Amino acid sequence: MKQNHLPVNLNLNVRGLETSATLRINEISNRLVSEGKRVYKFGLGQSPFPVPETVVEALRQNAHQKDYLPVKGLYKLRQAVADFNFRHQGIVTDPEDVLIGPGSKELIFLLQLVYYGDLLIPTPSWVSYSPQARIIGRHVDWIPASPDNNWRMSPELLDMECRDDPDRPRIVILNYPSNPTGNTYPVERLKLLAQVARKYKVILISDEIYGMIHHNGQHVSIARYYPEGTIISSGLSKWCGAGGWRLGTFSFPPNLRWLLNAMATAASETFTSTSAPIQYAAITAFEGNPEIDQYLSDSRRILKAIARYMKEILENAHVSVPHPDGGFYLFPDFNHYREKLKQKGILTSREMCSVILGETGVAMLPGSDFGLSSGTLVSRIAYVDFNGAEALHAAAGEWAGKKLNGSFVQSVCPNIAEGTRVLIDWLKEL
């Protein structure tokens, strides 16, 4: 019997887009595991640490909360976020200038939806910034960066991009510590970027989702230097281990409250409000307590130790790695092996990551997913394949007061150590 099919007419802004690269590599990794294959999950950047118990308990106590909350978010939570900003960055925020959403990813999308402006992002950048702009129909300008400046956005190049049309509306996204590189911006660079942003009156989204896991606890927000135009983006996913809870925050300066209101209007017609029990529990997270302070201190120590361990081993194998300042990412460059990879028919970062996954089980993302040219033989490693609860227990127990070293990584984070060894062995056999 002949079937009638409705025509498939995708919006041109969506046609050709794939599932987000980070989610796609996780699905592939899980499929391979289900097939009985050994996989080292260095693909998806999900915090390995459990949600702090006091925050989990707050969720238990508020599981009964069932009412729709205000579109902008529970006021007590917005107050807690404002206090959090002042406590950690000395930035004064009115609770009325805080917006709560189902993940910072959704809030970044909504801002691009309601504010008509070109998107400016450094190369490389997180995988979803550019696709979001494309879905909405916004123009994306990539500001090229290089290993010479640790892949950071250049104030001079940003100025050059803006000066030809100085009054054009623009959104600049600055993410640091960076996904995918793990490095951050020194204060002097932040001040220079702030000067350029002020000169052209750009809307600056400071994506500080990894700020609290700066390895030395020394994150500095650019909102200190460009307060009138900076929106601080944060949430619970990275520093609080609660990615699946889907709670993000935007903190606006008072003069951009009109933009917050516009986003809230769009939110009212889309997600309505963020999950009530999650919002109530998040108050505990943002208010903080000694347990959370210890949790953060130990998380930083562990991540710093793993980064140092992997970087040293990779560099000993002639793989260049930018210095990681925070988060849980490395951005290794395999250019030393270009000719040997070419002999295997590998010419692009995507081909390289695909072959490495197939032959070793090490899952990584190619640099091309982050805006680099396909021939740049760079990948992103998310060093999160370890039991975060066990690592925290060890860091606070037998390793308390000690410098975490390679022995710690090998004994407490065996998948990290083994996956790194497997990758290096593969390179040596090229």
- Under the banding of pLDDT at 50, 70 and 90, the label for residue 44 is confident
Tokens coding 11: 């919006």
- Under the banding of pLDDT at 50, 70 and 90, the label for residue 42 is very high
DSSP character at residue 378: B
The pLDDT of residue 182 is above 50: yes
In this prediction, residues 85-103 reach a mean pLDDT of: 97
pLDDT on residue 82 = 98
The pLDDT of residue 143 is above 90: yes
The pLDDT of residue 3 is above 90: no
CATH number, span 56-288: 3.40.640.10
Residue for token pair 């707050």: 58
The pairing of strands 98-101 and 248-251 is: antiparallel
The pLDDT of residue 24 is above 90: no
**305: part of which helix (H) or strand (E)?**
helix 290-316
The pLDDT of residue 106 is above 70: yes
- Under the banding of pLDDT at 50, 70 and 90, the label for residue 213 is very high
List, for residues 267-296, the tens digit of each pLDDT value: 999 999 999 999 999 999 999 999 999 999
The pLDDT of residue 6 is above 50: yes
Mean pLDDT of the chain: 93
Cα diameter, the chain: 74
For residues 340 and 427, what is the distance between their CA atoms, to the nearest angstrom?
9
Helix orientation angle between 187-200 and 155-163, rounded to the nearest 10 degrees: 10
In this prediction, residues 20-35 reach a mean pLDDT of: 72
* Cβ 315 vs Cβ 147: under 8 Å: no
The pLDDT of residue 226 is above 50: yes
The pLDDT of residue 31 is above 90: no
More confident residue, 22 or 288: 288
Tokens coding 135: 């879905």
Which range (7-16, 205-214, 379-388) has the least confidence? 7-16
* Cβ 71 vs Cβ 272: under 8 Å: yes
Domain with CATH 3.90.1150.10 in the chain: 21-50+291-428
* Cβ 47 vs Cβ 209: under 8 Å: no
Residues whose CB is less than 8 angstroms from the CB of residue 189 and which lie 6 or more positions away in sequence, other chains included? 152, 155
CATH number, span 21-50+291-428: 3.90.1150.10
pLDDT above 70 covers what percent of the chain? 95
- Under the banding of pLDDT at 50, 70 and 90, the label for residue 1 is very low
List, for residues 323-381, the tens digit of each pLDDT value: 999 999 999 999 999 999 999 999 999 999 999 999 999 999 999 999 999 999 999 99
The residue length of the chain stands at 430
Tokens coding 427: 């390179």
Domain with CATH 3.40.640.10 in the chain: 56-288
List, for residues 144-168, the tens digit of each pLDDT value: 998 888 899 999 999 999 999 999 9
- In sequence order, the β-bridge partners of residue 366 are 379
- In sequence order, the β-bridge partners of residue 251 are 98, 232
More confident residue, 5 or 95: 95
- DSSP three-state, residue 271: coil
* Cβ 88 vs Cβ 287: under 8 Å: no
In this prediction, residues 263-270 reach a mean pLDDT of: 96
pLDDT above 90 covers what percent of the chain? 89
